Amino acid sequence: MEKTTERALSTTVGRRSFLKMAAVAGAFGATSAFASEKVTRPATEEEVKNPFPGSKKVKTICTSCSVGCGVIAEVQNGVWVRQEVAQDHPISLGGHCCKGADMIDMVKSEVRLKYPMVKENGQWKRLSWDDALNRIAAHTITASFELPKSAISLRDGYALSLTNTHHVLLKECLMVSTGDALPSYIDAVIATEEALVEEDYLHIPLHVKSGWHIKKQGEDIAHNESLVHPYERLSAYKMTALAAQGIMNISVLRKPKVAILSIGNALTSLGEPLAQNSFYNSNAISLSARCMELGAEIIAIETSHEDKHLIMEALERLHTKADLIITTGGLSRGDVIAQLLLEKTLDIIFHEVAITPAKPTSLSHFDHTPVLHLPGLPLGSMLGFELLGAPLLKALQHELSIIPRSYIQSNGTPFTCKEN
């Protein structure tokens, strides 16, 4: 048996191979010794005590599972640099599993997503949070885990298991802070301000019931719950839910492109001197702001005199790059847009509506590009846009909710829009 082993070893590692490996090991050792000379030095006593000067320690919890073990994160200049176990945490009691011990590595991972991404034309690209907000989702996004992951305390106070008695020993209670994860046997949390403590006992108020000051597991978001539906607008509340799930890749639709053409001989652009009998072009500013609120991209804001040829040239120029053109002014009887509509130079979809003061509002299309014509009067312009332009802009984005149910009038009473 010994001869067999010896033969096997000699076959695996021959004399020449052994000498080669010994030479390599010796060279490596010599190189390491040479490199360490005057390059490394023993750490000072202060460096051993505090290797991250100026850092601060923040109490938090591990989010790898629903237990919520205590973690102390050491932060330097906003960066998590070191992790410790929270010895005084009421649930983990100074313990960690292997996942909890690696929380800092998960946060500092090179493959961690650090910003929103959007998919346009099949390609992922970086997107700022501002750009992601108010976009239209292209696909359903579901929750990969429930929130909260476990029951949590809604108040600072005493967590306990309810019994048939109206008092409990203090040592049987857990001192918890708002947001702390709770063990499964906890029935209620008595807030510090409503707690009555006498000697070693905590008296339980009569109104305290099971679930008191506790947010249940999955109460906010259930596992596989749909957070966003296709063609739903990504509001601030939706973005909060997505961020809470760690979702950063969001597939959205392209923003509709809107061009605004203001028509009038007395219009003055902002920043220019206001001549006598002239008006600042406030409609263009209010409409562009409202369009952006609805998720559109403003590609052009132009002004034209009341001239048919100039207006047709502007429409010819704008329709090739815009999904929607909005004109303001020129709609009164005898005005230039009214004439173009009556002459059917523009293809009319509808002409005038039974709404005051937005009665002149009309819709046409120029070579398949919709053109919304709004009055020049600011009140009529904005009313016409809210009733007809906003739904049109939402329809261009395939948004689910298009027609509003009601509006609030200036006197505070609502009036309702009925769908046929």
Domains defined for the chain, CATH in brackets: 53-107 (2.20.25.90), 117-147+220-250 (3.90.105), 152-215 (2.170.190.11), 257-270+277-416 (3.40.980.10)
- Region 5-30 average pLDDT: 47
- Catalogue the E-assigned strands of 121-195: 123-126, 141-142, 152-153, 157-160, 167-169, 174-176, 188-191
Question: In whole angstroms, what is the distance from residue 381 CA to residue 289 CA?
Answer: 13
Which of helix, strand or coil describes residue 348? strand
Q: How far apart are CA 259 and CA 307, in angstroms?
A: 19
Span 314-343, average pLDDT: 93
Q: For residue range 30-45, list pLDDT tens digits in order.
A: 444 444 444 456 767 7
Euclidean distance between CA atoms 219 and 146, whole angstroms:
8
Q: How many whole angstroms separate alpha carbon 337 and alpha carbon 300?
A: 19
Question: Do the Cβ atoms of 137 and 228 come closer than 8 Å?
Answer: yes
* Whether residue 95 has pLDDT greater than 90: no
Q: Which of 87-101, 236-250, 267-281, 319-333 has the highest mean pLDDT?
A: 319-333
Q: 337, 275 in Cβ contact below 8 A?
A: no
Distance, CA of 362 to CA of 376 (rounded, Å): 13
CA distances from 118 to 123, 124, 238, 309, 398 (A): 8, 6, 15, 41, 18
How many whole angstroms from its chain centre is CA 188?
Answer: 33
Q: Each residue of 137-170: pLDDT tens digit?
A: 888 888 988 999 999 999 999 999 998 888 899 9
Q: Residue 239 corresponds to which tokens in the numbers above?
A: 């973005």
pLDDT of residue 35: 43
| Residue 294 pLDDT > 50 | yes
The mean pLDDT of 45-51, rounded to a whole number, is 69
- H/E stretch holding 279 reads strand 279-280
Measured CA to CA, the distance from residue 73 to residue 50 in angstroms comes to 14
Residues in the chain: 420
- Predicted TM-score of the model (pTM): 0.56
Q: How many CB atoms lie within 10 A of CB 240?
A: 11
List, for residues 248-273, the tens digit of each pLDDT value.
778 888 889 999 999 999 888 877 88
In sequence order, the 6+-apart residues with CB closer than 8 A to the CB of 394 are 294, 401, 402
Distance CA 54, CA 75 (A): 9
> What are the beta bridge partners of residue 175?
158
Q: How far is CA 13 from CA 3, 4, 29, 100, in A?
A: 15, 14, 21, 43
SS3 85: strand
The tokens for 48 are 């051993």
Range in 82-86, 130-134, 355-359, 363-367 with the lowest mean pLDDT: 130-134
Tell me the residue type at 98: C
Please tell me the predicted confidence (pLDDT) of residue 417.
Answer: 46
35's tokens: 């490199």
Q: How far apart are CA 92 and CA 85, in angstroms?
A: 9
pLDDT winner (highest mean) among 16-20, 187-191, 270-274, 341-345:
187-191
Q: What is the pLDDT of residue 28?
A: 47
pLDDT of 403 > 50? The answer is yes
Average pLDDT, the chain: 81
Structure tokens at 198: 């006498």
State residue 420's pLDDT score. Answer: 37
| Preceding amide of 357 cis, omega within 30 | yes
